[in-house]
Structure 1
């Protein structure tokens, strides 16, 4: 079974594809460790917009905004973070650093709209912004690990598990999941707390990550896991 708590991909992934992956041996539950950290990735106004409106309307403000698709996930993040803090779980906020014409990377050719000239676009969404003790991690590339000090922070805290929230499911979340897995961390994706611009790429990415790199947890499973850690303190 690919997901640890319910199928996240709905009708997007055909059952015959799910069966093929299971026959190949993908999708087992790896389990989570005892010392997790949460990565809240790119929850900035550039990825949702300032208002809870459908994506087509949100894109009028920022072409990269996911609109209400993102706000639904942010609601789940808002419900999860206080429980994590009470459990003593470190929370990191990898985020897109302001991009300019001198910023290195291939985005200029593939997706130049990532370089918003509006400084407000890069601000954290207020409802899910870092609090005292949380650690912002600026990044220029999709993975939260690439060319950032994140691994050093995790090693210093003896972290064995990385829980991922934020966006986009197919981009920075997936890139971070692959790198976390490659570094030897157990990986959990908070499937109600990640978002993307279309259901197709969101659901397919959840299926792919759940098959190969991560356990998928819905909000109730994530809260139960965090509450179990709090009970052990």
Structure 2
């Protein structure tokens, strides 16, 4: 069984800049999974620091309203990996998941760490590069011309163990409606 992880689509990140395209891509993939009755699992980053935008008590830590309605399952985490000291592994085992699709924020942290951790736990992993986003850019890393998503996608692709697709490739490869399954 396949499952979709929607990582850290929270107000503190989504409201940082215009992520309209990324949110539309994520929503399209969510709808595909929902249509095929496959699990969609939201991951929510939380922090105990009072001043952190991810403090559980603050509205900035909430799932963003654009996708919140799709969140049937929410796993809370405190590190970049959605697997570290969370209920994610148990939930995936209960659901019989063997293949994880990764979307969300921030590409080079939580999405990448979770993809690698999933592979390390024996899952087939598909990283949908253009359905991830980041608040960081070339200035953050002092690397002129850096495209963070492309860099992470390329590194994961070169691993030869994590499949990296853009949304269009995902649709070509995996989108199969219930009607065509019959």
TM-score range normalised by the length of the shorter chain: 0.7 to 0.9
Structure 1 residue 152 displacement after superposition: 0.8
Root mean square deviation, CA, Å: 2.2
1:71-102 deviation line (CA, Å, top 9, x unaligned):
3211111122111101111000011124325x
Deviations along 1:134-185, one digit per CA (max 9) or x if unpaired, are 2000111100111001111111111110000001110000100110000010
Q: How does 1:8-19 map to 2 (within 5 A)?
A: none
Equivalent in the alignment of 1:42? 8
Confirm whether residue 191 of structure 1 aligns to residue 140 of structure 2.
Answer: no
Aligned partners of 2:133, 2:34: CA distance in 1, in Å?
22
How big is the shift at 1:45? 0.9
1:123 aligns with 2:53: no
Q: Distance in 1 between matches of 2:54 and 2:76?
A: 15
Helix, strand or coil at the partner of 1:190: strand
- 2:149 is aligned to 202
Please name the residue that 2:140 is paired with. none
* Partner of residue 81 from structure 1, selected from 11, 30, 33: 30
Residue aligned with 2:175, SS:
helix
Which residue is equivalent to 2:41?
A: 92
CA distance in 2, matches of 1:184, 1:225: 21
Q: Whole-Å Cα distance in 1 between the matches of residues 49 and 32 of structure 2?
A: 37
When normalised by structure 1's length, the TM-score is 0.67
Counterpart of 1:144?
82
Provide the rounded CA distance (Å) in 2 between the counterparts of 1:187 and 1:113: 31
Structure 2, gaps ≥5 residues long: 138-145
How many pairs were matched up? 171
8 Å contact from structure 1 (residues 190, 217) kept in 2: yes
From the superposition, tell whether residues 129 and 226 of structure 1 become closer, same or farther in structure 2 (CA, over 3 Å): farther
Confirm or deny: 8 A CA contact 2:45 2:77 kept in the other structure.
yes
Greater length-normalized contact order (CA 8 Å, ≥ 6 residues apart): 1
Instruction: Answer with 1 or 2: which has the greater Rg.
Output: 1
- TM-score of the superposed pair, with normalisation by structure 2: 0.84
Q: Deviations over 1:179-217 (max 9, x none)?
A: 000001000011121011225332211111122141112
Match of residue 72 from structure 1: 21
